[in-house]
């Protein structure tokens, strides 16, 4: 067992020892072991392209920055604590198509037929009609009050009509037409439609 390296993987509060042959230990092999570790410890993780999302750091308590990115397999020796960090989106290698860049959501007022929850705050969207805003690109749902706080993280391809191209703006459908406006104005316009006067019957 002299040619084996025994180190620790840690993912959040989950920690376990891993043994690997020293002569096979490369960055690619470390990532494979990390993917296997994640699948064993969190089997229903729901993440796709896991090997592209993993970053490996070693704990170095003598450094002001405790987590040091592992650039070489030689950074991992016996009793090294290796922290597995999962990124929000997969990294793209040179030979792959890049993942779509996040852009502002293309929000339009929507009437839901079933109970629906806000993807920002997690609370239910209330009302009979026009309960909230739905992104035409990714399909996420939001309260009108939450729409101004939503980050520009729509990862769908560009929506027909150019809904997501303007930085810092929201697209809202008001009165049957698409309106691009700064968040405060978009919220005000969406609110006016909800408060539109109804025809009185006399």
Q: What is the pLDDT of residues 88-106, one digit of tens each?
A: 766 555 455 555 566 788 8
**Residues near 50 by Cβ (< 8 Å), separated by ≥ 6?**
35, 38, 39, 86
The side-by-side arrangement of strands in the sheet containing 132-135 is 107-110, 132-135, 141-142
- CA dist., res. 182 & res. 194, Å (int): 19
CATH of the structural domain 4-86, one choice from 3.90.930.12, 3.10.20.90, 3.10.129.10, 3.30.530.20 = 3.10.20.90
Strand 14-21 to 4-11 pairing? antiparallel
Q: Could you identify the residue written with the tokens 């399909």?
A: 139
Enumerate the CATH 3.10.20.90 domain ranges in the chain, comma separated.
4-86
Residue-wise pLDDT tens digits, 48-97: 777 778 888 999 888 888 888 888 888 888 889 999 888 776 655 545 55
* 155 vs 101: CA distance, rounded Å: 6
Looking at CATH, the fold of the domain delimited by 107-194 is given as Wheat Germ Agglutinin (Isolectin 2); domain 1 (3.30.60)
Highest average pLDDT, of 15-24, 92-101, 178-187, comes from: 15-24
Higher pLDDT among residues 36 and 196, named by residue = 36
3-state secondary structure of 51: helix
Q: Residue 97's pLDDT is what?
A: 57
What confidence tier does 190 reach under pLDDT thresholds 50, 70, 90?
low
Delimit the CATH 3.30.60.20 region(s) of the chain. 107-194
The whole-number pLDDT of residue 160 equals: 46
How far apart are alpha carbons 200 and 152 in whole angstroms?
A: 41
Among 16-20, 164-168, 194-198, the range scoring the smallest mean pLDDT is 164-168
CB atoms within 10 A of CB 19: 10
Pair of tokens at residue 141: 């749902």
d(CA 127, CA 28): 52
At residue 102, the pLDDT reads: 64
Cα separation of 103 and 97, whole Å? 18
Q: What is the largest CA-CA distance in the chain?
A: 94
Greater pLDDT, 120 or 48: 120
């Amino acid at each position: 067992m002299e040619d084996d390296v025994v180190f620790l993987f840690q993912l959040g509060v989950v920690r376990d020892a891993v043994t690997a042959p020293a002569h096979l230990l490369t960055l690619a092999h470390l990532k494979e072991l990390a993917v296997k570790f994640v699948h064993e410890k969190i089997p229903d993780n729901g993440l796709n392209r896991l090997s592209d999302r993993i970053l490996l750091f070693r704990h170095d308590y003598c450094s002001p920055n405790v987590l040091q990115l592992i650039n070489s397999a030689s950074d991992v020796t016996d009793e090294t604590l290796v922290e597995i960090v999962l990124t929000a989106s997969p990294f793209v290698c040179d030979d792959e198509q890049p993942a779509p860049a996040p852009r502002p959501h293309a929000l339009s007022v929507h009437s839901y037929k079933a109970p629906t929850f806000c993807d920002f705050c997690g609370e239910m969207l209330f009302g009979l009609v026009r309960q909230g805003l739905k992104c035409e690109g990714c399909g996420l749902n939001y309260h009108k009050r939450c729409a101004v706080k939503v980050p520009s993280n729509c990862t769908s391809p560009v929506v027909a009509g150019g809904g997501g191209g303007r930085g810092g703006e929201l697209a809202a459908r008001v009165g049957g037409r698409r309106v691009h406006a700064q968040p405060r104005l978009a919220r005000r316009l969406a609110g006016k439609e909800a408060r539109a006067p109804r025809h009185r019957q006399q």
